[in-house]
Amino acid sequence: MIGNENKPRIGIFGRRNSGKSSLINYLTGQQIAIVSAQAGSTTDPVRKSMEIGGVGPVVLIDTAGIDDSGTLGRERVQRAMQVLPEVDLAIILFTDNLFGTEERELLAGCRGRQTPCIVVCSQTDRHQPDKALLDTVGREAGAEVFQLTVADVSRREPLLELIRKALPETAYRHNSLLGDVIAAGDTVVMVTPIDSSAPEGRMILPQVQVLRDILDNHACAVVCRENELATALGRMTAPPRLVVTDSQVYPMVAKIVPDEVYLTSFSVVLARAKGLFDRYLEGARTISSLRDGDRVLLLESCTHNVTCEDIGRVKLPARLRQFTGKTLQCEVIGGASPIERPLSDYALVIQCGGCVVTPKQLRARLEPALQAGVPITNYGLALAYLAGILERSVRIFNR
């Protein structure tokens, strides 16, 4: 689940020795994936970055063979299939005129998730494609099967063009985070605490993303720590358009920022950009309904060093218990770690801002909770609710 700064994902699926790793080398023009005549050389999904003209950077995901066998093989297949919900485009390979149940299950999975796919008949220099089968598969896939041998470099650009056309623009053309609520010349104050959980010598990714968006919109960014906020505001000849703060210092910042100045958090900004914003708002309002013994699941898209000031593992659970006065069982799962317990066991799921994942990945992670009818929210909106300023934190987006 760990992303690569919101690059679109292209998953490559197929049986063992169908040419998946060779395809990655072919597309990138580099020998970056291990190719072997021995079946099963790719085990866990492997991610490779490349640049596609007209699209930009993408992540190619090389998966294990969908026909792998044995106890370990079945686990590899399961991991390969777990990739499908997070990809923006699937490439399904088959060779030697073998297109069966496994490939059709992939097609059905793509249709069910409305994920576009390209079907490639590979190794055509070694196995003569059967025209009737190509026609059948093309009808099932809803598009002509692309025939390929990696020995023919002239087929690389046509395949890349097919990928460009199939990849949804929403996967690589991202809307501005704040472009609809700030204008050129506006001043935006960013409040960025520096504690033991802050990375050494740099800002965290959500802060960098918001800063870049402010600059892209030709607004002026003022960056300070929470202890310098009052001084920074006092030196301004006019109030700022917006203050964006780290959620963990919401109570302190809310007291300093005048009510007429818009206030939100980095996590709320990301929640709005990633989708499911209305569901997050609904979920935040259910916090007051939590009861003794309820389980709360906190999902973090990245993995990081845990400190005594960790927001997800320490501060947020403590504030939930303090606010509700209930004995809550808070569990944190980071990165791509599986959720072992049934989602129906949880009273609430709280997702981090998701700065390192795409909206598709975030939706895939939360879909089981949505299907189970479990309320969901995110760190920023939950902390705003706990601070009593939920409505204020989203006011700028409800104009």
* pLDDT tens-digit map of 116-173: 999 999 999 999 999 999 999 999 999 999 999 989 999 999 999 999 999 988 777 7
Q: Kindly state whether residue 146 falls inside one of the protein's structural domains.
A: yes
The answer to whether residue 394 is domain-embedded is: no
Q: Are residues 96 and 27 in the same domain?
A: yes
Complete edge-to-edge strand list for the sheet that includes strand 117-121: 46-52, 56-62, 9-14, 89-94, 117-121, 146-147
Confidence of residue 391 (pLDDT cuts 50, 70, 90): very high
Q: What CATH number is attached to the domain comprising 313?
A: 3.40.50.11410
Name the more confident of 72 and 107: 107
In the chain, % of residues over pLDDT 90: 59
- pLDDT computed for residue 307 by the predictor: 52
Statement to judge: residues 241 and 298 lie in one domain? no
CA angle centred on 48, ends 173 and 126, rounded to 5°: 110
Residue 253 and residue 128 share a domain: no
Domain co-membership, 166 together with 209? no
SS3 label, residue 109 = helix
DSSP string for 246-297: -GGGHHHHHHHS-TTSEEEEHHHHHHHHHS-HHHHHHHHTTGGG--TT-EEE
pLDDT of res. 199: 66
Q: Does some domain include residue 179?
A: no
Q: Are 32 and 136 found together in one domain?
A: yes
DSSP string, 355-380: TTS-HHHHHHHHHHHHHHT--EEEHH
Domain boundary among 139, 171, 203: 171
Separation between Cα atoms, residue 12 and residue 84, nearest integer Å:
9
pLDDT at residue 7, as a whole number? 83
- Are 15 and 105 in contact, with CB atoms under 8 Å apart? no
pLDDT 10s digits, 302-321: 655 555 467 777 889 999 99
**Same domain membership, residue 318 and residue 246:** no
- CB atoms inside a 10 Å sphere around CB 320: 22
Boundary residue ending a domain (171, 202, 226): 171
* Confidence at residue 318, expressed as pLDDT on a 0 to 100 scale: 92
| Last residue within a domain, chosen from 141, 171, 201 | 171
Q: Does one domain contain both 100 and 211?
A: no
pLDDT tens by residue, 50-80: 888 888 889 899 888 888 777 777 777 777 7
Kindly state whether residues 71 and 197 are assigned to the same domain: no
> Which residues lie closer than 8 Å to 381 by C-beta, 6 or more apart?
267, 268, 271, 280, 281, 283, 284, 390, 393, 394
Who contacts 258 (Cβ-Cβ below 8 Å, separation ≥6)?
A: 239
The verdict on residue 196 lying in a domain is: yes
Tell me: the pLDDT tens digits for 206-228? 899 999 999 999 999 999 999 99
Q: What is the pLDDT of residue 222?
A: 97
Q: For residue 245, is pLDDT > 70? A: yes
Q: How far apart are CA 277 and CA 268, in angstroms?
A: 9
In this structure, are 196 and 160 located in the same domain? no
User: What is the structure's pLDDT at 4?
Assistant: 46
Residue 332 sits at φ, ψ, to 5 deg, of: -115, 130
Tally of structural domains, the chain: 3
Q: The CATH number of the domain where 160 resides is what? A: 3.40.50.300
Confidence (pLDDT) at 340: 84
- The count of C-alpha atoms lying within 13 angstroms of the C-alpha of 324, restricted to the half-sphere facing its C-beta, is 25
Is residue 163 classed as helix, strand or coil in its secondary structure? helix
How many C-beta atoms lie closer than 10 Å to residue 322's C-beta?
10
**Is 32 in the same domain as 161?**
yes
Q: How high is the pLDDT of residue 3?
A: 42
Predicted local confidence at residue 117, as pLDDT: 94
Amino acid letter, 11: G
Residue 392 has pLDDT above 80, yes or no: yes
Q: Could you read off the pLDDT of 19-45 as tens digits, one per residue?
A: 888 898 888 876 665 554 555 444 556
Give phi and psi for 170, each to the nearest 5.
Answer: -65, -20
Angle between helices 266-274 and 379-386 (to 10 degrees): 130
pLDDT of residue 123: 93
* DSSP at 237: S
> What is the residue range of 354's domain?
279-386
Check whether residue 41 and residue 167 sit in a common domain: yes
Does residue 159 share a domain with residue 35?
yes
Residues counted in the chain: 399
Radius of gyration of the chain (CA): 24
Of 187-201, 219-233, 377-391, the least confident: 187-201
Looking at residue 197, its amino acid is S
